[in-house]
Amino acid sequence: MEHLERCEWLLRGTLVRAAVRRYLPWALVASMLAGSLLKELSPLPESYLSNKRNVLNVYFVKVAWAWTFCLLLPFIALTNYHLTGKAGLVLRRLSTLLVGTAIWYICTSIFSNIEHYTGSCYQSPALEGVRKEHQSKQQCHQEGGFWHGFDISGHSFLLTFCALMIVEEMSVLHEVKTDRSHCLHTAITTLVVALGILTFIWVLMFLCTAVYFHNLSQKVFGTLFGLLSWYGTYRFWYPKAFSPGLPPQSCSLNLKQDSYKK
């Protein structure tokens, strides 16, 4: 438990800072552009992470939203209830996960449709010999063809959105104080460590995507969708009254307590 608490303390000091929430979006954009430039001008030699079948890609990135959803669900529920004691407010805050699920589904559907309507089926990876009889990517692959269209980077989108969402939700830790002997302390500490590790995996794999996969325009659009999804929710919609709301902070808690006294 001592090692877990030490790890949690380091992650708190790293990810909970306001500066991280302020500069992480810019850092992701800069790393995407730098990685893409490196890929075009001086490609790195192939490595384990450049293989799409690496463990992190297969068991984490391919189901990135599921990991993010499953860890944020208990984290938001425990921390928000601990601070407010109100089940209704906790349910309201948990609706951020439903919003995130809708964003994930809509954006990935858009990407898939764009690739479909801009794509063609070829006889080889060198894009030789168009097979006009194949009208869909699935049909093309079933017949041994190679589909090529404008493939917006789903990794760039989802890893951007998930990393920024986790960092936003972890800002609540500024207010969370628990008794070390209480089981709630162990649960929150474990979740903080898990979410911190997950965030570092998302950022690492975002960098790998920038360096090894897709072209610049595909990654730009993917990252832009991720940034707009984060900004549209946590910076534009959630601060408003009719929304899932932002993670509770001391100022908002004090205002609510004053209103109850009145």
Residues acting as catalytic residues: 155, 214
- Integer Cα distance of 98 and 105 in angstroms: 11
d(CA 251, CA 218): 41
Under a CB-based contact definition with an 8 Å cutoff, are residues 61 and 203 in contact? no
Amino acid letter, 261? K
**Residue 256 host element (H or E):** helix 250-261
Residue pair 23/31 in contact (Cβ under 8 Å)? The answer is no
Q: Are 4 and 193 in contact (CB under 8 A)?
A: yes
Closest among 142, 144, 138 to 122, alpha carbons compared: 144
Name the token pair of 216: 């610049």
Nearest to 32 by CA among 173, 165, 141, 160: 160
* Measured distance CA(250)–CA(248) in Å, rounded: 7
d(CA 42, CA 50): 15
Tell me the C-alpha distance between 253 and 255, whole Å.
5
For residue 33 the two structure tokens come to 């552009």
State the Cα–Cα distance between residues 196 and 8, nearest whole angstrom. Answer: 8
Assigned token pair, 50 = 């450049």
